[in-house]
A and B are shown apart, each in its own frame.
Chain A
Amino acid sequence: MRNNSLERAFWAMGNIVVIAYAMVPVIWILSLSLKRSADLNDQRFFPHTISFEHYRTIFADAQFPAALWNSIGIASVSTVFAVILGMFAAYAIVRLQFPGRRLILAGALATAMFPPVAIIGPLFNLWRATGLFDTWAGLILPYMTFTLPLAIWTLAAFFREIPWDLDKAARIDGATPMQAFIKVIAPLAAPGVFTAAILVFIFAWNDFLFAASLTSTNDARTVPAAIAFFTGSSRFELPAGSIAAASVVVTVPVMIVVLIFQRRIVSGLTSGAVKG
């Protein structure tokens, strides 16, 4: 009995440490965003008086709403394309026998390890020549491509779990492979597709290197680049409060989605990598 309560205390401590570890920086940026400008330098963890002035400031300025719109649009379009292309490829790799499928997987794997900085120079040059520089398409293309391996892996892992006899049954009943894919498999694959979509979206939402290299104005600059290059609207104002408020605005929605779908995200993040 004593041993049992000791063990409970041990795990409770562990749990509290883990939760504190994850939450401290988040609570810190939240409380920074809620401090009054005058209190920003008080070196305290929690705000003395709660104020929403920084939130009003960032939404009154043109820069942040534009960046938010760019981030949402670019990340969503990239996600749709990456998941659709990834779905086709993953289905073919899991279900069909054809020469070259191992090569495609190896290529996708190599791309996952690819350092993005290795191609920003060529892309910068090409995008300026073709007019893609500082446009949505100029970011969607690299995001879509860099997340394709993630999408293919995650989807392939989920597709392997699907009861394929249904697919066979449909094909015996006279459906073509394409019909079997659309009518039978796609609905079963929806959870995997959704997981892949979240992971891809987070990648595009998070990226800074491409956004910093391939955009220059509010036309296509996404939130991470806008925040990193943010300077206060006047020289007398500390941008820390505005940056913190902008950070909270872009963090909260993603965090809610991740917390709701945490189980799927965990299986998606690990499925491509381990499991013998």
Chain B
Amino acid sequence: MSKRQRSEWRLGWLLCAPAVTALMLITAYPILYAVWLSMFRYDLRFPDERVFIGLDNYLSILTSEVWWRALGNTVIITAGSVSVELLLGFPLALIMHRTLFWRRAVRATTLVPYAIITVVAALAWKFAFDPTTGFVNGLLGLEHAWLTQRWSAFFVIILTEVWKTTPFMALLLLAGLTLIPNDLIQAARVDGANAWQRFTKVIVPVMKPAILVALLFRTLDAFRIFDTVFVQTRGAQDTESISVLGYNTLIVRLNLGLGSAVSVLIFIGVLIIAVVFVKGFGTPLVRRQGD
């Protein structure tokens, strides 16, 4: 090994060391610590009664109705918001890509939801649907307390998520759209394909990697949903998501043992989603990262 090469290695490690150290200390170490804590009966209100109990916390979570309901709610919110976002993201991306005028203005305004704090967006929609302050009931001539019923609360939560994150989905799809060579679409047009056929037979297959990446990012993000649910219902009306459940167990009830087990289960859930997308659907996640 040449001296030059060795100094390059050393510089490379030196430059990466601070970032790697931070990632180790603030994410890798705490998750291992969470695994460790999850094997104790450990309630901060009674810290002296800390006892090692192995996998008992997992057993009590996985046999409790609360966990499965929260997981079910999270799946409902995730599936609902991600599918609507994909449906709306396509037309939005097409408008950003093809519109004849105001293109700059349209692209700029789509970033507005992204720039708004999630808590603020959640409150804005909460007030909008509120029976006393809101304009929605006035507009629709209804007297409905949206956030006091399970399914209408889900509707408001999903609407908020969709509003906030569809632009992000659209931007990822737009990046895929711009990669499609115009010749390809022209050729399909010459061959007599109509707009729908061009979309399903040419655009979607070429965009498949971009679609999968967008879906993966948004699914993982929606699966971790906390802010919107916390602000709009605090998990009432059986809308609690698993992140809200974890927060309530850890920070509100101060049950570190049980709460850490919830955290570890959420972590495993995220891993499963990522593996299914990358291995199952062949999402090209790191294709260009290494070069």
Interface residue ranges, A against B (CB under 8 Å) = 7-8, 11-12, 14-15, 18-19, 21-23, 25-26, 28-29, 32, 40-41, 43-45, 85-86, 88-89, 91-93, 96-102, 104-109, 111, 113-126, 141-142, 144-146, 148, 152-153, 156, 177-178, 202, 205-206, 208-209, 212-213, 223-224, 227-228, 238, 240, 243-244, 247, 250-251, 254-255, 257-259, 262-263, 265-266, 269-270, 273-276
Give the 7 A-B residue pairs with the shortest CB-CB distance, closest first: A98-B12, A43-B138, A145-B26, A92-B15, A119-B30, A122-B30, A88-B15
Q: A115-B224, A212-B247 are in contact. Are A262 and B107 (CB under 8 A)?
A: yes
Q: Which residues of B contact A153 (CB under 8 A)?
A: 289
Residue of A with least CB distance to B224:
A115
Q: Is the CB of A109 within 8 A of B210?
A: no
List which B130-188 residues lie within 8 A (CB) of chain A. 130, 132-135, 137-139, 163, 167-168, 171-172, 174-176, 179
For chains A and B in complex, what number of residue pairs have CB atoms within 8 angstroms?
Answer: 324
Q: How many angstroms from the CA of A1 to the CA of B287 in the assembled complex?
A: 46
Besides A19-B109, A224-B119, 17 more A-B contacts (Cβ < 8 Å) are A18-B92, A25-B124, A40-B132, A89-B15, A113-B274, A115-B224, A115-B263, A119-B31, A122-B260, A126-B33, A145-B27, A208-B230, A212-B251, A227-B123, A254-B115, A262-B111, A276-B209
Q: How many angstroms from the CA of A100 to the CA of B179 in the assembled complex?
A: 31
Q: A96-B8, A106-B286, A259-B108 are in contact. Are A213 and B250 (CB under 8 A)?
A: yes
Q: Which residues of B contact A109 (CB under 8 A)?
A: 285-286, 289
Q: Is the CB of B124 within 8 A of A29?
A: yes
Q: Which residues of A contact B102 (CB under 8 A)?
A: 15
Is B45 among interface residues, defined by CB-CB distance under 8 A? no
Is B19 among interface residues, defined by CB-CB distance under 8 A? yes
Is B203 among interface residues, defined by CB-CB distance under 8 A? no
Distance to closest chain A CB from B112 (angstroms):
4
Q: Which residues of B contact A41 (CB under 8 A)?
A: 132-133
Name the contact of A117 in the complex, choosing from B11, B107, B119, B243 (C-beta under 8 A). Answer: B243
Distance to closest chain B CB from A257 (angstroms):
8
Distance to closest chain A CB from B216 (angstroms):
8
Q: Which residues of A contact B270 (CB under 8 A)?
A: 113-115
Residue of B with least CB distance to A256:
B115
Residue of B with least CB distance to A89:
B19
Residue of B with least CB distance to A223:
B117
Q: A11-B95, A25-B124, A85-B22 are in contact. Are A119 and B112 (CB under 8 A)?
A: no
Q: Is the CB of A111 within 8 A of B137?
A: no
Q: A40-B133, A118-B263 are in contact. Are A276 and B287 (CB under 8 A)?
A: yes
Q: Is the CB of A22 within 8 A of B110?
A: yes
Residue of A with least CB distance to B216:
A113
Q: How many angstroms from the CA of A121 to the CA of B112 in the assembled complex?
A: 33
Q: Is the CB of A25 within 8 A of B125?
A: yes
Q: How many angstroms from the CA of A100 to the CA of B137 in the assembled complex?
A: 58
30 A-B pairs in the complex with CB atoms less than 8 angstroms apart: A14-B99, A19-B105, A25-B124, A26-B112, A28-B128, A28-B135, A41-B132, A85-B18, A100-B16, A113-B220, A114-B27, A115-B267, A118-B246, A121-B246, A121-B250, A126-B33, A145-B22, A153-B289, A208-B118, A213-B247, A213-B250, A213-B251, A244-B124, A251-B116, A251-B120, A254-B115, A254-B116, A255-B116, A262-B104, A274-B176
Distance to closest chain A CB from B20 (angstroms):
6
Is B86 among interface residues, defined by CB-CB distance under 8 A? no
Name the contact of B226 in the complex, choosing from A91, A99, A209, A276 (C-beta under 8 A). Answer: A209
Is B101 among interface residues, defined by CB-CB distance under 8 A? yes
Q: Is the CB of B119 within 8 A of A209?
A: no
Q: How many angstroms from the CA of A49 to the CA of B175 in the assembled complex?
A: 44
Q: Which residues of B contact A212 (CB under 8 A)?
A: 230, 247, 251
**Proximity string of chain B (7-36) to chain A, C-beta cutoff 8 Å, 1 when within and 0 when not:** 111011101101110110111011101100
Q: Which residues of B contact A275 (CB under 8 A)?
A: 175, 179, 288
Q: Is the CB of A96 within 8 A of B224?
A: no
Q: How many angstroms from the CA of A112 to the CA of B125 in the assembled complex?
A: 28
Residue of A with least CB distance to B285:
A109
Q: Is the CB of A43 within 8 A of B135?
A: yes
Q: Is the CB of B99 within 8 A of A11?
A: yes
